[in-house]
Structure formats: C-alpha cells, structure tokens
Structure 1
Amino acid sequence: MTQTPPAQSNNPLHGITLEHIVVRLADHYGWEKLGDKININCFKNDPSVKSSLKFLRKTPWAREQVENLYLATF
C-alpha cells in the first residue's frame, strides 16, 4: 500500500521552480534593480538566468532572499 505525501498547502512556493522565480523577478525588476534589492554578484556582474540558478542552488541564504522577495512582490 502506497501513501501519498501530504499536500504542502502551507508552502506558498510549492510547485514553483527556482527558474520561474528568477525569470519573473528579472522581468519585473530588471537585473540592475534586482541587484540593488538583493546584493549578490550573480545579479550585478554579467547576470543571466543560468548563472543565477547555478549560484542560488549552491547558496541557501541567497536562495532564501530571492524566494522572500518573490513572495513579497507577487
């Protein structure tokens, strides 16, 4: 008998990919303003979605800041 995992109804980011978050924030703010809001080099020096994802996947504190900005914005 297989149990299904409990729904993550208390997680507002459930089902939203990190790529979606980065793309939506970059489209909304632009890279320059995003770099002002969250002071990390991947948003300031030659920014791209690919380099940002690589950094954010390895850096939990930065990912948390990006996720919090996404929640506050949208």
Structure 2
Amino acid sequence: MSNEQTNSPLHGVTLEQIVTSLQEHYGWDGLAQRINVNCFKNEQSIKSSLKFLRKTQWARDKVESLYEATF
C-alpha cells in the first residue's frame, strides 16, 4: 500500500458513509446548494445518490472534497 493511500482522510471510508455523513450534516438542501446535482435536489435518497455518484466521477470528486473539508 502506498503512503498516499493510507494518509488519505478517505482511506477506509465508503462512498455510502460519505454521502450519509454529509446528508446528516447539511441535509439534502444544503448538499444541493454546495454541489449542483439533481440527485441532491430531486430524487433525494442515499440509494439514488450512490447510483449517480458511482458512474459520475466529477460529482464524486466534489462530494469527496466536501467531505474532507467538512470532517
């Protein structure tokens, strides 16, 4: 394992944990204000957000950056 990976604040944290933590912290509306994606505005569920974020790298990057900045 590289040092970069083990030193990452996201090491060992799943995407589901990230989305759940952010949703609990900001709420769906707060997330939608910070990251302009429909899964935070319309279909507001962890499941639909995970489905979108797993196939949309730019959005996932933004979510991970917000998580790092928040926690």
**TM-score, normalized by the shorter chain, greater than 0.5:** yes
What is the count of residue pairs matched by the alignment? Answer: 70
Instruction: Pick 1 or 2: higher relative contact order, CA cutoff 8 A, min separation 6.
Output: 2
Q: Unpaired runs of 5+ in structure 2?
A: none
Cα offsets for 1:33-57 (capped at 9, x unmatched): 1101000000000210000000000
The alignment's TM-score, normalised by the length of structure 2, stands at 0.92
Q: Are 1:34 and 2:58 an aligned pair?
A: no
Cα offsets for 1:11-69 (capped at 9, x unmatched): 22110000000000000000011101000000000210000000000000000000000
More helix, by proportion: 2
Q: Unpaired runs of 5+ in structure 1?
A: none
User: Which aligned runs of 4 or more in structure 1 are off by greater than 6 angstroms?
Assistant: none
Which one has a bigger Cα radius of gyration? 1
Distance 2:66 2:2 in 1: 26
RMSD: 1.1
